[in-house]
Structure 1
């Protein structure tokens, strides 16, 4: 069991993050609309539950999630906020192809006329930062993350000459505490670590109970450079929350192999009387470079449900069986059960 309020220092910065944070993509209307009052109820529930780290992005609801968060945190003190750079929002452009689902509709179901254009230049990052401050209605954010440059083929060299230079300058000036990148893959973050002075990375869906490939290269590299990692997508887009046909994995219907592996993991959890969600939420926190894990949800009840999963006792025998059945990397650190 993990104390969600326990904090982890981020490198040599003045910033520390609690072990549990809240991700705002779902309340930005990911896949289905979330009315304003419902989004506010979710964020109130997160605050009242003691969550004090919130991650957002211009991409989430095309600015809507940042606006929701700004409204919810207005007048509150003591929270840490991370948002992202690389996508600018404009109303005078059509949707970018990356915004569209196979049926041609936008992935975030919101009414805003804003659409995205990608810009990882020095000026684009500075503009993105200023725009986010306005939507969040704050004077500063704690963390800025380069968001999904791989989505449009932007490489490490281009980032280092533009986005990195801007973020490094903002940190040196004390405008932000820390910076890094947020992606759904670990290979490019590994390249970035080798090229610059980063504080942390947000890795979504790649170090989970379902897959642990970053154990071999990326996480050791983070440890060697004193770089922390925030884990998003801990349920692999829903597959580890409910492994059934039609469940999402990587934002798309899960392939048969991934579904079968998730169902095998669930069977082990069931034999030990543990909800698969509890094992999935607790597992990444055992790795020493992981500072925080993000939960999310479209309804207030999901916040308390996830906190209950975090408090659930998971016996050592469950992790041992997962490793024995080759369902968990043998080298993966696992939580230590009390007693």
Structure 2
């Protein structure tokens, strides 16, 4: 299947679509009851250019399912890519050696020897100073890029202050933020602008806040939404009804319309979700709708970082 609306990821060579399919639920039966390999094949056949996974998603089962799907299909089709992330080790270490081992584990599971992009993922087990020192995680990331095993390196973490510190090292080519630029929370806006100024590629993940804006749960960013946030959401639903729009369509397009976001990452746990995303992407949102959203006032957030 041809790739939908291909565009470069910032200054990197990676080509992305407006939507990237997230594989965090793939292989986790509690979050995705679908057959993982069959779902992985559908994700790889979708009109979206990139599938985003990680070393630790579903304890490695996400990468394993994708690897089996790749083997069954004979590899990736033109225009499609898999992006993964290196993660902390089971011993809690996240240094240069762990970066390399995490990368090697991903190579083993996926059967891919070179990735267009690999992110340093949730480096909470180390400080930025430790990661930047000789033998630190950043050294490992730079070595992977210098040796041609990855095309570009990125930083993927939730907390804005931590992510900003990594961006300002000047080492990374891409940024992945999540739950921090949605209809409910805009705190990543300045960081996205700074990444753009540096020529970095920008992924914005979780435009539905983990389910709240998709109507799938009452949780936002892994926490139960308080009463004032649910009240704000009720006003948003009323506004969307007036305009004949679904809240999920508004939530997705809030991210898609931002010129500084190159691709929006949406998790997929079932095959029909891919078709739903195609329909949401095709939904036309009038420009006059967005000023009306702003009139609802600043939404309360569950995030306090």
Same fold, TM exceeding 0.5? Answer: yes
Equivalent position of 1:62 in the other structure? 59
What are the Cα deviations for residues 238-280 of structure 1, in whole angstroms up to 9, with x where unaligned? 000017xx62211232222332222322221121111111111
CA contact (8 A) 1:20 1:294 kept: yes
CA contact (8 A) 1:86 1:118 kept: no
Aligned Cα RMSD in Å? 2.2
**Which has the larger displacement, 122-131 or 205-214?**
205-214
State the alpha-carbon separation in 1 of the partners of residues 91 and 32 from structure 2. 22
- Which stretch shifts more, 167-176 or 44-53? 44-53
Q: Which runs of 5+ in 2 are unaligned?
A: 300-305
Report if the CA contact (8 A) 1:296-1:303 is conserved: no
Counterpart position of 1:266: 237
Q: For residues 197-216 of structure 1, give each alpha carbon's deviation from its aligned partner in whole angstroms, at most 9, with x where no partner exists.
A: 2111111111112111122x
Residues of 1 paired with 2:289 and 2:3: CA distance? 22
Stretches of 4+ aligned residues off by more than 6 angstroms = none
Query: In the aligned structure 2, how far is the partner of 1:30 from the partner of 1:232?
Result: 22
Instruction: Return the match for 1:147 from 121, 136, 142.
Output: 121
Q: Show the counterpart of 1:218.
A: 191
Structure 1 residue 31 displacement after superposition = 4.3
Deviation at 1:138, TM superposition (A): 1.6
Q: Deviations over 1:291-328 (max 9, x none)?
A: 11112222211110111011011112221200122258
Structural mapping, 1:119-268, within 5 Å: 119-150=93-124, 152=125, 154-161=126-133, 162-215=136-189, 217-242=190-215, 247-268=218-239
Structure 1 residues 324, 50: CA separation in 2 closer, same or farther (over 3 Å shift)? same
Residue 12 of structure 2 corresponds to 13
* TM-score where L is the length of structure 2: 0.88
SS in 1 for 2:250: helix
Q: For 1:308, what is the secondary structure of its paired residue?
A: helix
Q: CA deviation at 1:219?
A: 1.8
- Name the counterpart of 1:294: 265
Q: TM-score, normalization: structure 1? A: 0.80
In structure 1, the residue matched to 2:302 is none
**Secondary structure of residue in 2 paired with 1:287:** coil
User: CA 1:264–1:118 in structure 2 vs 1: closer, same or farther (change >3 Å)?
Assistant: farther
Q: CA deviation at 1:282?
A: 1.4
- Evaluate the alpha carbon distance shift between residue 30 and residue 286 of structure 1 in structure 2; reply closer, same or farther with a 3 A threshold: farther
Q: Which stretch of the first structure deviates more once superposed, 301-310 or 43-52?
A: 43-52
Contact 2:85 2:120 in 1 (8 A): yes
Conserved? CA contact 2:44–2:51, under 8 Å: no
The alpha-carbon distance between structure 1 residues 124 and 66, as it changes in their structure 2 partners (threshold 3 A), is same
**Count of aligned pairs:** 293
Structure 1 residues 47 and 127, CA gap change in structure 2 (3 angstroms): closer
The corresponding residue for 1:334 is none
